[in-house]
Amino acid sequence: MKHKILIAGLILASIFTSCSDDYLDAPAQSTLDESVIFSSPDLAAGAIDGIKIPFAETNSYRGRFLPFYGLNTDVEWYNSSQTVSDASDLCTYDTKANNSQMNTANNAWAMMYSGIERANICIRGLRAYGNPTPGSQLGYLLGEALTLRAIYYADLIKAWGDVPYRFEPLNNNNLYVPKTSRDEIYKQLLADLGEAATLVPWPGETTATSSVERINKAFVKGFRARLAMAASGYQQYPDGIRRSTDPQLSIANMYALALAECRSVIASGSAHLEPSFETFWKKYNQEYLVAGGESLWELPFSEGRGRMLFTFAVRHTTNDQFHANGANRGGTAGPLPIVFYDYDQADTRRDVTCVPYKYGTAVNNIAKQELGALNTWYFGKYRYEWMTRFVTSTNDDGVNKIYMRYAEVLLIAAEAANELEGPSAAAPYLKEIRQRAFPTAVHATKVDAYVNALTSKTAMFNALVEENKFEFTGEMERKQALIRWNLLKTKLDEAKVKMTNLSQRSGEYATVPTTLYYKFKADNVSLDIYGLNRGETTNPGADYTSFAWTWTGAAADTKINSLYKVGVNPDNRQFWPIWQVFIDGSNGKLVNDYGY
């Protein structure tokens, strides 16, 4: 059963009393004796659960941050990018500080700081009264609190760059503070996660770490590796795009830290790739929560909260045999049209990731698949039809957000090993990813020969950039990776050219068919589609119906150019502006940089 994040009566109501300040919208100091709460494992556990509540608030991760952050990239976009709106502005690198989707006092920025304040109170209380040692329950809870705080801060930095540094509970002296260099925040987070790794057990070692909805050592170490790579990578600072000049965040230091943490996770045997890519995503949609597999940690939603399928699933036009979540659910974003054709045809990740159909209007509650358009694809990693629970909420599906999975540990290990030790050290990790991606029959060519030919650091790095694309499309991790590689605008411009080539059937897309053929399978719901693969141009028979698979003219140009707003340089818009309501409520302490 999914872990439900609920306020536990008097304890949390007392600790996290709401404060009316619009600047951080964070709870005030505890009115209940912390010495009682944080010396008791059961009471302290309830307080730690309170740190997670802001994830699921209406305008927090649930309804604002997750639906928009991470779009648009060279593989993912908001499917209505061409329609000018405050929603599309969030994705097309043209966001304004007064954006109507975000400029509210209870939005993601406020909720993240609310979570941080809750964590600060718990961390203070556990350190003062809990004797949180490794192997103890209170030690685990401190490790969990440190990690949850790091998650909130990592996402603040990812979306806004430099933000206020607040690692103590609010008081009269620190209520209004300016932004701090993210370098200082990264160093604090890396230290906190280093401590947390000594306090939390490996997946499945304890009851607490038996679920992917609770923090475990494999996740902490993998997350620490991710942050180390981001901290040492390129990013937009107020004075330009560069790497950090802080010696502690150098490539040598951060890559060594990341590689050591990834190798520790790999050597532990506490996590592993699911043998089948499709099976992994089916189990995710079925809400399989047992830790120790590929999912390292998931942002936990109760059944009545969370919008991962509501937002990103294959589109369902109406309620049907698979859900009663309402009309036009899923499909607000999807893969760029080129992604399907960039995959190797033998790659099993392709058909899981890229879906060219939606479910039409239900008749007698039964909906059938129907082809859409070449310029509108859906993320097949998220599917109501793979769920075992029938969703009836009109606004939420309750499926968790996978925050990190073991495949990322392997690819970070490959990238760091390549930089520090050369391509031969990176090869085993890349091979493991591709062995899962391709059928055994083609491993000799698609895995061994392919990877063995990557004999320079540059060749291996470029291959890893591509492999990240094929592995993670639809998980909205690509944007931060492109930023730290200093490839954001470069790859977006490449994608525009490639989409133009696809629409014109030129260059690398000259052999993509312009006509699809379809019929229904025996279930009279699922489509049997011919013509998606290159070379499939012969009419397969009279029982198939033809379907034009073209995308040309001004409408194509408009949508292609909407990957980022015309006249905008995405490298100068790597972050969202701080929303005006928080600027206005900061007592003059907060300002927007980056030309906003």
Give the model confidence (pLDDT) of 378-410 as tens digits.
999 999 999 999 999 989 999 999 999 999 999
Sheet holding 515-520, edge to edge: 527-530, 515-520, 545-548
CA dihedral 104, 155, 63, 585 (to 10 degrees): -10
What integer best gives the mean pLDDT of the chain? 95
How much of the chain, in percent, has pLDDT values that exceed 90?
A: 93
One-letter amino acid at 336 equals L
For the cut 90, the answer to whether the pLDDT of residue 309 exceeds it is: yes
How would you classify residue 403: left for phi > 0, otherwise alpha for psi between -120 and 50, otherwise beta?
Answer: alpha
Strands 235-237 and 240-242: antiparallel
The predicted structure's pLDDT at residue 15: 56
Tally of residues, the chain: 596
For the cut 80, the answer to whether the pLDDT of residue 7 exceeds it is: no
- What are the domain boundaries of the chain? 1-60+106-200
The whole-angstrom separation of Cα 138 and Cα 144 is 10
**CB of 212 within 8 A of CB of 270?**
no
**Of residues 306, 311, 308, 301, the one with CA closest to residue 87:** 311
For the cut 50, the answer to whether the pLDDT of residue 56 exceeds it is: yes
Widest pairwise Cα distance in the chain: 78
**CB of 115 within 8 A of CB of 150?**
no
**CB of 99 within 8 A of CB of 86?**
yes
Provide the 10 A C-beta neighbour count for residue 199: 24
Give the tokens for residue 219. 């996740």
Which element (helix H / strand E) includes 156?
helix 137-160
CA dihedral 276, 277, 279, 281 (to 10 degrees): 160
How would you classify residue 291: left for phi > 0, otherwise alpha for psi between -120 and 50, otherwise beta?
Answer: beta
For the cut 80, the answer to whether the pLDDT of residue 50 exceeds it is: yes
Task: Return the ∠ at Cα 449 (arms to 447 and 451), rounded to 5°.
Answer: 60
Whole-number Cα distances in Å, 508 to 278, 504, 505, 512: 27, 11, 8, 9
Which element (helix H / strand E) includes 308?
helix 308-312
What contacts 589, CB < 8 A, 6 or more positions away? 164, 176, 177, 178
Which element (helix H / strand E) includes 379?
strand 378-379
Give the tokens for residue 580. 């005006």
Strands 333-335 and 76-78: antiparallel
3-state class percentages of the chain: helix first, strand second, coil last, to nearest 5? 45, 10, 45
Give the tokens for residue 197. 């790794």
For the cut 50, the answer to whether the pLDDT of residue 13 exceeds it is: no
For the cut 60, the answer to whether the pLDDT of residue 255 exceeds it is: yes
**CB of 361 within 8 A of CB of 317?**
yes
Please name the residue that has the structure tokens 């954006």: 99
For the cut 50, the answer to whether the pLDDT of residue 320 exceeds it is: yes
The predicted structure's pLDDT at residue 65: 98
Report, as an integer, the average pLDDT of 213-224. 99
Exposure of 500 in the CB half-sphere (CA atoms within 13 A): 12
The whole-angstrom separation of Cα 37 and Cα 214 is 20
For the cut 70, the answer to whether the pLDDT of residue 376 exceeds it is: yes
For the cut 90, the answer to whether the pLDDT of residue 435 exceeds it is: yes
Whole-number Cα distances in Å, 303 to 56, 235, 482: 11, 37, 33
**CB of 573 within 8 A of CB of 489?**
no
Tell me the three state secondary structure of residue 376.
strand
The whole-angstrom separation of Cα 347 and Cα 355 is 14
Task: Return the ∠ at Cα 580 (arms to 578 and 582), rounded to 5°.
Answer: 70
For the cut 60, the answer to whether the pLDDT of residue 167 exceeds it is: yes
The predicted structure's pLDDT at residue 107: 96
Q: Into which CATH architecture does domain 1-60+106-200 fall?
A: Alpha Horseshoe (1.25)
What contacts 267, CB < 8 A, 6 or more positions away? none
Please name the residue that has the structure tokens 């003059």: 588
Exposure of 366 in the CB half-sphere (CA atoms within 13 A): 5
H runs (alpha helix) in 449-507: 450-452, 457-472, 478-484, 488-504
One-letter amino acid at 314 equals V
pLDDT in tens, 476-535: 999 999 999 999 999 999 999 999 999 999 999 999 999 999 999 999 999 999 999 999
Task: Return the ∠ at Cα 155 (arms to 266 and 300), rounded to 5°.
Answer: 70
pLDDT in tens, 108-160: 999 999 999 999 999 999 999 999 999 999 999 999 999 999 999 999 999 99
The whole-angstrom separation of Cα 454 and Cα 243 is 26
Give the tokens for residue 137. 């329950």
Please name the residue that has the structure tokens 């996402």: 155
The whole-angstrom separation of Cα 195 and Cα 417 is 24
**CB of 279 within 8 A of CB of 296?**
no
For the cut 70, the answer to whether the pLDDT of residue 18 exceeds it is: no
**What are the two backbone dihedrals, phi and then psi, of residue 290, each rounded to the nearest 5 degrees?**
-75, 125
For the cut 50, the answer to whether the pLDDT of residue 23 exceeds it is: no
Give the tokens for residue 410. 């392997």
One-letter amino acid at 158 equals K
Give the tokens for residue 512. 């993509």
